């Protein structure tokens, strides 16, 4: 049905452009900001092993499926699920899967933008020498004073959302594609430079042991859920981003091979971030499980003490902002695409309204660090609640539904046609993983969460 259908937004100019864009969506704050601190909170090496297994057995098969669904329909996630549900002759309620992805993306971006604003602010702090000769206490006070100021957080949150919308408004070729072609190579160069510095610290081996030597006594059901949720978060699964990026992917490009490159690059960046950050943490006698403020309260100490730290500090937080920006544009793209395709909005108008709505939602996260810090829902502030709701619930549920739809609802002839894998055995391996392994793994983890297992 879709052999000649094309997205009204255009298409990626090449396979490499899609790899850069989808890798940019996957590589973000989740790799550099979130992965190190949740690995630290969950025992290091044992968590890393569970996370890698989740990426291999659950993340990659679902990413292939989500890309496939988007390319087959050439539409936004909501329209994708409506069209493919009709094609499969399935229950019309499946279109709510598209809506959940769009909503999850907006919710994630609402708090993601606030954290990305921290990175922008810390570029300025590094440039002005705020970290120079500062000890752990001084750096902690600097961070606490910063997040305690709603005005400062709103300013930086606003600037980051503005940067995101300036890219989005330009479309697929002139906005998304050109941005990632510049940003992604820069990100990898900066990451390698930071790992090089980590190798000069006296705690490099200790950092490697923490990251790669497993202590399985640290594993709990919550650890497995966190690892699975992070696999979804870092690969941008279940939030509509990969589905809408897949809708811009030309026919004839191998989805499976492309996804393997994307997942490999994303995982490499997450591990490189840990390799770079943990030696610095241990060298300064800091705790690796310091929570969301880990890289804002630990790395500045090293930057303030090391030779060339002024430049390295600037480069690191520029890298962090770049990583955040390549992800943020993918998080807002699904709702922008839906507004253009369904509400007859121009791309400019859709970008403005989507950006404004997300910015307003982000104020809840801003205030959760200061004037609403005592406001709790289920023992979590607004930021913690949004993070848990999206990463640990909405994204896995979305991934589970994608797996079920691609493995059981979509007609085999259609998925075979769209994936066009090199051999029948390759398709059969994917079919087993997407039909049985991925949905069963997600389901068992949820049974544990609700206390059944």
The model's pLDDT over 27-44, given as tens digits with 9 standing for 90+, comes to 777 777 778 878 878 888
Please tell me the predicted confidence (pLDDT) of residue 396: 81
Name the average pLDDT for the chain. 85
Please tell me the predicted confidence (pLDDT) of residue 431: 96
- Average pLDDT, integer, range 106-111: 94
pLDDT band at 198 (very low <50, low <70, confident <90, very high): confident
The model's pLDDT over 247-294, given as tens digits with 9 standing for 90+, comes to 888 888 889 999 998 899 888 888 888 898 888 778 877 777 666 667
Whether 417 maps to a domain, the answer reads: no
First to last CA, the chain: 43
- Average pLDDT, integer, range 181-187: 76
pLDDT band at 65 (very low <50, low <70, confident <90, very high): very high
19 compared with 256, residue with greater pLDDT:
256
The model's pLDDT over 285-336, given as tens digits with 9 standing for 90+, comes to 777 766 666 778 777 877 787 777 788 888 888 888 888 888 888 889 899 9
Maximum average pLDDT range among 67-71, 197-201, 315-319: 67-71
The model's pLDDT over 115-172, given as tens digits with 9 standing for 90+, comes to 999 999 999 999 998 888 788 788 889 999 999 999 999 999 999 999 999 988 876 6
CB atoms within 10 A of CB 285: 9
Say how far residue 174 (Cα) sits from the centre of its chain.
23
Please tell me the predicted confidence (pLDDT) of residue 251: 82
Give the DSSP per-residue string, 147-196: HT-HHHHHHHHHHHHHHHHHHHTTHIIIIIIHHHHHHHHHHHHHHHHHHH
Say how far residue 183 (Cα) sits from the centre of its chain.
16
Whether 125 maps to a domain, the answer reads: yes
Residue 238: exposed, middle, or buried by beta-carbon count in 10 A (0-12, 13-18, 19+)?
buried
Please tell me the predicted confidence (pLDDT) of residue 260: 92
pLDDT at 2 over 50: no
Residue carrying the six token digits 């709103």: 154
Task: Give the span between the Cα atoms of 285 and 196, in whole angstroms.
Answer: 20
Whether 408 maps to a domain, the answer reads: no
7 compared with 316, residue with greater pLDDT:
316
390 compared with 431, residue with greater pLDDT:
431
Please tell me the predicted confidence (pLDDT) of residue 13: 63
- Do the Cβ atoms of 77 and 334 come closer than 8 Å? yes
Write the CA distances from 339 to 70, 177, 304, integer angstroms.
17, 20, 46
Please tell me the predicted confidence (pLDDT) of residue 311: 84
Region of poorest pLDDT, from 86-95, 280-289, 338-347, 403-412: 280-289
Task: Give the span between the Cα atoms of 329 and 172, in whole angstroms.
Answer: 11
pLDDT at 1 over 60: no
Whether 306 maps to a domain, the answer reads: yes
- Average pLDDT, integer, range 353-381: 95
Say how far residue 200 (Cα) sits from the centre of its chain.
30
* Residue range of the domain that includes 182: 15-51+99-388
Whether 61 maps to a domain, the answer reads: no
- Do the Cβ atoms of 179 and 329 come closer than 8 Å? yes
Say how far residue 115 (Cα) sits from the centre of its chain.
13
Please tell me the predicted confidence (pLDDT) of residue 406: 95
Global confidence as pTM: 0.87
**H helix intervals, 201-254:** 204-212, 221-234, 241-246
pLDDT band at 83 (very low <50, low <70, confident <90, very high): very high
The model's pLDDT over 84-104, given as tens digits with 9 standing for 90+, comes to 999 999 998 998 999 998 999
Whether 421 maps to a domain, the answer reads: no
Please tell me the predicted confidence (pLDDT) of residue 175: 59
Say how far residue 288 (Cα) sits from the centre of its chain.
21
Maximum average pLDDT range among 17-26, 71-80, 351-360: 351-360
In which element (H, E) is residue 305 found?
Answer: helix 299-305
In degrees, rounded to 5, the angle at the alpha carbon of residue 81 between the alpha carbons of residues 78 and 83 is: 105
Whether 433 maps to a domain, the answer reads: no
Task: Give the span between the Cα atoms of 334 and 338, in whole angstroms.
Answer: 6
Please tell me the predicted confidence (pLDDT) of residue 134: 81
Please tell me the predicted confidence (pLDDT) of residue 9: 53
Whether 447 maps to a domain, the answer reads: no
- Do the Cβ atoms of 338 and 78 come closer than 8 Å? yes
How many distinct helices (H) and strands (E) make up the chain?
Answer: 24, 0
Looking at the 3D structure of the chain, how many domains does it have?
A: 1
């Amino acid at each position: 049905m879709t052999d000649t259908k094309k997205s009204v937004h255009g298409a990626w100019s090449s396979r490499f452009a899609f790899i850069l864009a989808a890798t940019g969506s996957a590589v973000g704050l989740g790799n550099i900001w979130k992965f190190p601190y949740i690995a630290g909170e969950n025992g290091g090496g044992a968590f890393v092993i569970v996370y890698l297994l989740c990426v291999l057995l659950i993340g990659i098969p679902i990413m292939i499926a989500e890309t496939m669904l988007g390319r087959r329909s050439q539409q936004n996630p909501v329209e994708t699920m409506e069209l493919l549900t009709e094609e499969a002759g399935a229950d019309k309620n499946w279109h709510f899967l598209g809506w959940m992805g769009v909503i999850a993306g907006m919710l994630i971006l609402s708090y993601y933008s606030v954290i990305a604003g921290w990175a922008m602010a810390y570029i300025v702090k590094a440039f002005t020498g705020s970290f120079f000769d500062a000890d752990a206490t001084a750096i902690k006070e600097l961070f606490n004073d910063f997040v305690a100021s709603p005005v400062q957080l709103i300013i930086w949150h606003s600037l980051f959302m503005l940067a995101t919308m300036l890219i989005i408004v330009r479309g697929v070729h002139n906005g998304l594609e050109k941005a990632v072609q510049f940003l992604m190579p820069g990100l990898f160069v900066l990451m390698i430079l930071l790992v090089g510095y980590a190798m000069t610290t006296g705690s490099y081996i200790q950092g490697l042991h923490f990251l790669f030597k497993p202590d399985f006594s640290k594993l709990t059901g919550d650890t497995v859920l966190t690892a699975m949720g992070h696999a979804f978060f870092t690969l941008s699964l279940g939030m509509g981003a990969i589905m809408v990026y897949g809708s811009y992917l030309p026919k004839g490009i191998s989805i499976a091979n492309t996804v393997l490159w994307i997942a490999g690059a994303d995982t490499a960046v997450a591990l490189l971030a840990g390799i770079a950050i943990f030696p610095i943490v241990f060298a300064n006698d800091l705790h690796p499980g310091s929570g969301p403020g880990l890289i804002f309260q630990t790395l500045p100490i090293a930057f303030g003490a090391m030779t060339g730290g002024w430049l390295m500090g600037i480069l690191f937080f520029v890298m962090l902002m770049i990583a955040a920006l390549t992800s943020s544009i993918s998080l807002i793209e699904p709702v922008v695409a839906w507004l253009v395709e369904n509400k007859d909005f121009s791309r400019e108008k859709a970008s403005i309204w989507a950006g404004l709505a997300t910015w307003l939602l982000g104020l809840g996260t801003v205030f959760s660090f200061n004037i609403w810090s005592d406001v709790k829902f289920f023992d979590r502030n607004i930021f913690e609640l949004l993070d848990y709701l999206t990463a640990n619930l909405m994204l896995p549920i979305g991934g589970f539904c994608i797996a079920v739809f691609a493995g059981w609802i979509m007609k085999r002839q259609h998925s075979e046609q769209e994936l066009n894998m090199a051999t029948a055995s390759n398709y059969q391996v994917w079919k087993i993983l997407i039909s049985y392994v991925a949905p069963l793994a997600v389901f068992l983890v949820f049974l544990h969460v609700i206390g059944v297992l």
